[in-house]
Amino acid sequence: MTESGLKLLLEKQQSLLKELLDFSQRQFAETDPVGLDNLLSQKDKCFEELQKVDSMLEKWHQKYNRPFQAEEEKLDQLIQDLMEKILLSEKEFEKIVGREKNAVSLQITQLGRQMQYRKDPGHQRPQIKNMKT
């Protein structure tokens, strides 16, 4: 690890964040559960790589405690922007998943009520009597 390695680490972090943002955006369009699972798996791998780079950045900062140079400052700002975009994307996806989860819960509750209604002997179908006039 050298002092000039910071730029490489920041570029690697930026690259991984771009990839993560792409995965985050693609999850909105994925309708196949298997495809979504694959996408989430790829996101997990990308996140693991980001954690490794983050650890290396922390070690770099401990070893070379200095302010960013101009290029590094630009990379850091791009990284911050990417992180904000990823955060917004993930929050939106969480809202969608939450709404879908609530819709499924409501459907399950409704089915449970219907099943209970059918099982309850007091709620049998009304019987039509033959009336003679």
Burial letters 110-121, b for 16+ CB under 10 A, else e = eeeeeeeeeeee
Contact 23, 43 (CB under 8 A): yes
Q: Domain residue spans in the chain?
A: 5-88
Q: What is the pLDDT of residue 32?
A: 86
Task: Return averaged pLDDT per consecutive 10 residues of the chain, 133 residues in all.
Answer: 85 95 90 87 93 93 90 94 94 86 82 75 59 63
Tokens at 54, concatenated: 């983050």
Q: What is the C-alpha to C-alpha distance for residues 10 and 73, in angstroms, rounded to an integer?
A: 10
Q: Dihedrals φ, ψ of 27, to 5°? A: -65, -20
pTM value is: 0.74
